[in-house]
Chains A and B, each alone.
Chain A
Amino acid sequence: MAWLGFASLLLRCLEEQQGRGAAMEEAVWMWAVAACVKALLIPSYRSTDFEVHRHWLALTSSVPLRRWYSDTSAPCCTLDYPPLFAYFQRLLALPATSLGLHPSGLLHLSPSPPSSAPLPVLLYLRLSVIVTDLVFLLAAVRLARRRLPIARRSIVLVLLLWSPALLIVDHIHFQYNGYLLGILLLSLSFLEEGKDLAAGIAFSVLICSKHLFLIAAPLYFVYLLRHYCRGSLWKASGRFLIMGGVVGAVFVAAFGPFFYYGQIQQVLSRLFPFGRGLCHAYWAPNFWVFYIVIDKLLAVVLSKLGFDIPSPEASFTGGLVGNSSHFAVLPQVTPLITFVMVLLSMSPCLIKAFQKPQAKHLIRWVAYAFTCGFMFGWHVHEKASLHFTIPLAVISVDSLNDARHYFLLSIVSCYSMFPLLFEPQEYPIKVLLLTLYAIAMWIGFSSYFKLVVVPAEDKVHNPSTSDREETFIGKFGTIYLLGLLGVELWGQLLHPYIFGSSLPFLPLMMISIYCAIGMVCSWAWQLRQILQRT
């Protein structure tokens, strides 16, 4: 018996070892294919974020550290990411000098429009995004190699490495989300493997790189408190001190220099600009979309009924509305209210994590926490939906329901980013990226979950099953996706045909509202899953 057990253990070890090598090979192949696509995307459209990041390179490499957060040489592009990201930019700027990129203006402080960036600058910045994506690749391999059988691992890798939303935001629009999400996934993989201390370090590095990830901090705190700091009181407090010390060290390394120079006030005011409005210029598809729409509708109805409704002075769709986002009928929303709502909505997963801190549910909880932040947060960008769609990709193969949910959610999330690329040149690219991803998901999921045929006699005896004929995505999903197609067709064809160039915000509003419906459903579904399954 013992021999058998030992042999099986040995076999499993061997299998795992083999699996790791193969996983790496497969993942590198997929990453390389994606990298070719990314390289071809180098000449494509880039947003002002491109100039912002270029300016940060220039800023961090030519201005002394104590003035990084107080420099105003380019009002468009002030540094508003936490210090670790600024250090990261400083590092990225290092090779530029030795490559002799000074004459190209890569490190000049004066801003220039992103569309006219000279080729060396363009290549340098775009390639820096592609190369730093390696962090994402590493994290994806770490997460995927634990997911056997091989087919499951392959699907996870495809879903992570060929994410169209990530391609659109990072490699066309221009940001470093691949690098940042890579750190998040790394920390998740550490948690799954039980390396809580490493996970804590990774997560604090993440927060010090982009503070939007703070939303998951309560969950991390609760989980690490209950999972890492367990045992007797003596042992628990010791571990608590270790964790606190390590996390604190990361924060000191990040913020310490600015504290030393007395800049901390300035840093914080840059990081948390509550002067901005509740919603971004283009409404992220979250709960507040409905709030605004209901308010507008109520205002119209009530003023028709003869009530005196003060019309709001700034249109929500007009761009940055600052603090003047007055609602006509419904109560005003302040940052504090959104904060409380986010905390309240994520409390189920906090309670669950407190009661039973199990690593296997962790990705679900983290994704849910980010979803809450996205649904109810203050001034949320549509790009923030990446924070939960990417982790959810990892667990999308756990069950058919998860697969179905991820299929719809990833399409909605990517579609809600379509307005980022508004030029006709990129239109077919974004559509094809999403379509290809949808086909890949379809093929992958339906071959993985070989759907069992209903025997013919079953259908004869039980006509109700034949009434419920459904495809992989289900009736609701099909209708919803058809509606999505309708919204897109309206925005692209019918709207310009009927209204011409008037009411330009209407198609965008429709996308927001329609995607918000999907997002709310996804949030509710995740909440139910957490309550039932964890």
Chain B
Amino acid sequence: MFDDIHPMARKTEARGSAAAASGRHTPADVDGVAASSFLWSTTVLAPSTAVAVALFALLIRLLVSLGPYSGQGTPSMYGDYEAQRHWMEITLHTPTAEWYRNTAANNLSYWGLDYPPLTAYQSLAHAFLINASIPESLALSSSRGFESHKSKLAMRWTVLSSDLLVLFPAAIYFVSVYFRRNVGGDAKGRSSPWFLAMILLNPCLILIDHGHFQYNCISLGLTLGAIAAILSQKEITASILFCLAINHKQMSLYYAPAFFSHLLGKCFRRKNPIFEVLKLGLVVIGIFALVWWPYIHSVQSVMEVIHRLAPFERGVFEDYVANFWCSTSMLIKWKRIFTISTMRFICSIATILAFFPSFVQQIKSPSDLGFLYSLLNSSFSFYLFSYQVHEKSILLPLLPASLLALQEPTLFGWLINCSLLSMYPLVCRDKLSLQYGSVLALFALIFYAPHGKQHGRVDKSSTKRVALLTVGLICSAVLHLVYLGLEPPKRYPFLFEALIMSFCFSQFVIYTVYTNIKQWMLLDHSSLKMRVKKDS
């Protein structure tokens, strides 16, 4: 989309036009080769290009935020927007100790706080901001279901600013580290602006955060920062950031096996493994103590919070999710066969089994690229097999998938398509179809930008692969149309949802099996490289 300023021109920006004024400028190269890279083909992320891509991503977020939010104008319970607004109200007007407790002011059955304390602090901070301009939107209990144009705007801005403050810097940091450390191997013909756009223009994240209304950008941004810190060998920073991410949304634990195994594997390769492990352990404990400070004084209040965070009394899945339990429940009625506690146990075992291979690989030979694959595999194992997953959790595997966009471009594009499809029922409920279509189209356009990506890779794709993709695309298009246009049969009112979910599930499974194999195939030469580096 945007060119990197030619290095020469950049040098002269400050004093260039002195020469220009004296008429020594010429329209560049007649053959148009150098300047025809109006675009992407550069591995150096120039400030102007980074700013352009980031501002474009911000613009798209702003435009999506013009649309409706979840539960707009649907009284009694509303939706996630009301939940976030309610948390601001509660954190603003009740003492910290009572945030997770059922009291007269804080009725936990009405959108009780069910995220860790950092989310609560973030709600409080935003509550201060909104309270300064629209206090009636946060008045205790009387403001339930408060909706106005102005308060929507203010709430939207809290998400936008969090995104801008957390995810954007993390993404830029990651992309620059990625190319500096040469994580993806041979950097020739790769485009850093394109890569940054792939991370920032993730349509699912934009729709959920700025359409549906959530703050995933914060926990994902913190995780991304942690990943970048690990890639640049700053393990303590990484631990701090990742602990903060966990304390913002407990779902960040999906990544925990990858972080744990990678750091452990690295520590084992040092002179004092036990000291290194202890150091990181202390950092983790310290951060947790700091965040949980108001609650760690009594066991009871800690248990109260934990109880809110892990609502095991709820079912194995809610609504329709493209995971193993939901997709197979058409054939096997899990909920009827097993009690909740057995189900919990089965889920845990299945999840552990699923992430075990990638876990072992990272302990055995931790590497940068392997770490990215391991993040993807462990988050997918949680998404597919753990207890109580909802459709928005697909955002977690999507983050590492987008970080691997230069490794697996075609698969990443396909994964985005399937994830969007798996969220389609949710999007329809939120009346965000217009935004859905536009963001999907925009992503596809940027993905296939005329000069973006690596030129070679696209050509290499064999006819077999193209045929497979076409079949997949037709399937997904048909499912979209069927869901939009047809009435489901009366006996099975959720038939189409189930169809969509099983289709997406099959794709996800294929994808993650493939990436697990990929991760194991990395084993040999990358671990060798590590050793050489360590010795020198």
Chain A residues at the B interface, C-beta cutoff of 8 Å: 25-26, 29, 32-33, 35-37, 39-44, 123, 148-152, 154-155, 158, 397, 399-400, 424-425, 428-429, 432-433, 435-436, 439-440, 442-444, 446-454, 465-466, 468-472, 474
Contacts and interface: CB of A to CB of B under 8 A. Distances in A.
Interface in B139-180: 149, 153
A400 B51 contact: no
B402 interface: no
Interface string B9-31: 11111111111111011111111
A32 B445 contact: yes
B445 A448 contact: no
A465 B446 CA distance: 43
B17 A471 contact: yes
B60 A154 contact: no
Contacts of B56: 436
A449 B27 contact: yes
B16 A451 contact: yes
Contact of B14 (A36, A40, A42, A469): A469
A39 B55 contact: no
Contacts of B16: 446, 451-453, 470-472
Contact of B48 (A37, A43, A442): A442
A379 to B, nearest CB: 33
A321 B517 CA distance: 76
A461 to B, nearest CB: 13
B38 interface: yes
A29 B450 contact: yes
Given A443-B49, A471-B13, A453 B450 contact: no
A87 B352 CA distance: 68
A399 B20 CA distance: 11
A453 B22 CA distance: 11
Contact of B59 (A149, A432, A444, A448): A432
Contacts of B11: 453
Contacts of A37: 59-60, 63, 438, 442
Contacts of B2: 439-440, 443-444
B112 to A, nearest CB: 31
Contact of A443 (B3, B29, B30, B434): B3
B18 A154 contact: no
B17 A472 contact: yes
A466 B18 contact: yes
A44 B59 CA distance: 13
Given A36-B445, A443-B5, A471 B14 contact: yes
Given A155-B38, A439-B2, A440-B52, A40 B19 contact: no
B28 A151 contact: yes
Interface in B28-65: 28-32, 35-36, 38, 48-49, 51-52, 55-56, 58-60, 62-64
A158 B56 CA distance: 14
A154 B48 CA distance: 18
Nearest to A29: B450
Nearest to A429: B62
Contacts of A123: 434
Contacts of A428: 62
B449 A435 contact: no
Contacts of B55: 432, 435-436, 439
B20 A447 contact: no
Contacts of B458: none
Given A151-B38, A435-B55, A447-B5, 16 more contacts: A33-B442, A37-B59, A37-B60, A41-B63, A123-B434, A439-B55, A440-B2, A443-B2, A448-B27, A450-B6, A451-B9, A451-B12, A451-B13, A452-B16, A452-B25, A470-B18
A447 B28 contact: yes
Contacts of A468: 18, 21
B473 interface: no
Considering residues B5, B55, B63, B434, which has the most beta carbons from chain A within 10 angstroms of its beta carbon?
Answer: B63
Given A25-B450, A29-B449, A33-B446, A446 B18 contact: no
Secondary structure type dominating chain A contacts = helix
Nearest to A432: B59
A285 B300 CA distance: 69
B286 interface: no
Contacts of A39: 434, 437-438, 441
B67 interface: yes
A439 to B, nearest CB: 5
B77 interface: no
B148 to A, nearest CB: 12
Nearest to A123: B434
27 contacts: A33-B1, A39-B441, A40-B60, A41-B63, A43-B67, A44-B63, A150-B38, A151-B28, A154-B38, A439-B2, A443-B2, A443-B5, A446-B16, A447-B4, A449-B25, A449-B28, A450-B26, A451-B20, A452-B19, A452-B20, A465-B22, A468-B18, A468-B21, A470-B20, A471-B13, A472-B16, A474-B17
Contact of B12 (A41, A152, A399, A453): A453
A454 B48 contact: no
B132 to A, nearest CB: 15
A451 B17 contact: yes
B66 A26 contact: no
A404 to B, nearest CB: 9
A151 B59 contact: no
B18 A450 contact: no
B6 A446 contact: yes
Contacts of B261: none
B183 to A, nearest CB: 26
A320 to B, nearest CB: 29
B18 A448 contact: no
Ranked 6 nearest A-B pairs via Cβ? A149-B32, A151-B35, A451-B16, A470-B17, A40-B63, A36-B442
A81 B258 CA distance: 65
Nearest to B65: A425
B52 A450 contact: no
Nearest to A449: B25
B510 interface: no
Given A440-B52, A472-B16, A450 B28 contact: yes
Contact of B38 (A36, A444, A453): A444
Contacts of B58: 432
Contacts of B66: 40-41, 43-44, 425
A79 B204 CA distance: 44
B36 A149 contact: yes
B14 A448 contact: no
A152 B34 CA distance: 12
Contact of A40 (B30, B48, B435): B435
Contacts of A466: 15, 18
A439 B35 contact: no
A421 to B, nearest CB: 13
B434 A42 contact: yes
Given A36-B445, A432-B58, A446-B9, A451 B25 contact: yes
B337 interface: no
A439 B434 contact: no
B486 interface: no
B36 A150 contact: yes
B481 interface: no
A439 B48 contact: yes
Contacts of B48: 439, 442-443
B8 interface: yes
Contact of A429 (B4, B51, B63): B63
Nearest to B22: A465
Nearest to B32: A149
Nearest to B443: A36
A447 to B, nearest CB: 5
Interface string B225-241: 00000000000000000
B437 to A, nearest CB: 7
B253 to A, nearest CB: 34
A25 B59 CA distance: 25
Considering residues B24, B38, B60, B149, which has the most beta carbons from chain A within 10 angstroms of its beta carbon?
Answer: B38
Contacts of B6: 446-447, 450
A44 B437 CA distance: 17
